Structure 1
């Protein structure tokens, strides 16, 4: 009986996956990579909009351990997807997709949401401090790991103001309590590729981002020659949660333009 139930569960899961893939075969798959101090559930509002408009979405777990390892995991996922992909990232996830998309022929567009867009040799923490405005340094809580490394969290009492000032306070508090840490190694590991140099790029950020300052986002977008750069007035670092409609609209614009 238990075996039959298990088989039914697997069959149901396959059916759901097939249904998502069949939404609109002419549209690219949207892969959404979360960043530090967060998890994939932050994409919920964006995914709801994309699914409603016929897009298949995948939001994998970003391990937040090492840049090279995180990028390799996303790269493996990209290789397994048939058809075109629009690769989207938030925050540290931008470091990951800039490396993971390098040499991936099926990735037709990159979208950075409050995200890092590193050049080769650049790392997340130094990039966030390129211009004044980041409060990350004064907001971190460091936890020693058995291997000698360090996990980094945002202090819970500083999370709401630093990361999610335009998110309802109850939700922001929940985000603080369920945040996933980034290792110090991942935040300081330099990028070895910059896929935005060869793949069309879109960027959106909040003017009040206190993790990666708006000045950094604007500078990155200009350097990348972004197809379109959007600044949301009053937006925080948690733009994917506070402004999912605007984020989804830019992703769909990138998806529509990929074949032009």
Structure 2
């Protein structure tokens, strides 16, 4: 075949669409930093696993086997107003408020503990297969993480699993989903073992914002303190952020 015939074939192929066009890459997810508005005291021995404000009270679930607690705090001062040990010496994980109850996950004990919110006493335990990491309530369902890239949906009355979604960033699976906060139909998640937070669309599993909160460590967080792991929505674009064994909680603005 002559060169002229070869080129004619290529031109004809392009014209009829038999040559695949070049795919256009999706825009990268934006990365922002939190704006610190205030620093608040936090118990430096609190291994924070769950963090949520409801009715003007800051609820905190702490971890470590034999040391895990459910706590209430003053969100303005960080003062611990009540602290109750989790039953069974379980390793406590994420928490969320559902009406007059609070659900608390356990790490590898494969149970969730339901608490009476007013009395701060355990009411019952239900089986939850697999690991428990983060938990939040979107007004209709519980959303749970287990350290993978999967978010699981549960019935808030009995913890029956009802579905789930795989989380991706820029089209790739995003593992390490930890403490969760449900806000206005979106899910904010700490990424273990980093000091990053992501915002997730639970319908598609796509991450649409990354918050790089590593700069908070320069504000008096000792090297011995572990990762950022506490997101409590204050209102609007304001949140309280803290970490495991952090001596401070930061009221920040996160938007993008």
TM-score interval (norm. to shorter): under 0.3
Instruction: Provide TM-score, normalisation by structure 2.
Output: 0.23
Instruction: Provide TM-score, normalisation by structure 1.
Output: 0.23
